[in-house]
Amino acid sequence: MPNLTLAVPADLHRRMKRHPEVKWSEVIRRVLAEKIRDLELMDRLSARSELTREDVADLDHVLKEAVLWRYRGGAGG
């Protein structure tokens, strides 16, 4: 199995050392595997999309505005 070197902030490392019972390399492997699965799913979902980057940016803006409106009490809140 290939090795991967990972740099973490000193504070995080200190906090990790408080839990020697945790196999941190296994935790990182699982997180990486989950992220890869998510990215591969996004690749499959977007493979046949006809949306342009501009379309996606426009949708992103509309959705963020709607969420902001909702959480500021705009929908009966």
**Looking at the predicted structure, is the pLDDT value of residue 77 above 80?**
no
When pLDDT is cut at 50, 70 and 90, the band that residue 74 belongs to is confident
Q: What is the dihedral of CA 64, 68, 69, 75, to 10 degrees?
A: 100
Q: What percent of the chain has pLDDT over 70?
A: 96
**42 and 9, same structural domain?**
yes
**4 and 38, same structural domain?**
yes
**56 and 34, same structural domain?**
no
**Looking at the predicted structure, is the pLDDT value of residue 47 above 60?**
yes
> Which tens digit of pLDDT belongs to each residue from 28-40?
999 999 999 999 9
Q: Which residue has the higher pLDDT, 76 or 58?
A: 58
Residue type at position 46: S
Total Cβ atoms within 10 A of residue 23 = 9
Residue range(s) defining the domain that contains residue 2: 1-46
Q: What total of structural domains would you count in the chain?
A: 2
Q: What percent of the chain has pLDDT over 90?
A: 74
Give residues with Cβ within 8 angstroms of 71, minimum separation 6: 77
**37 and 8, same structural domain?**
yes
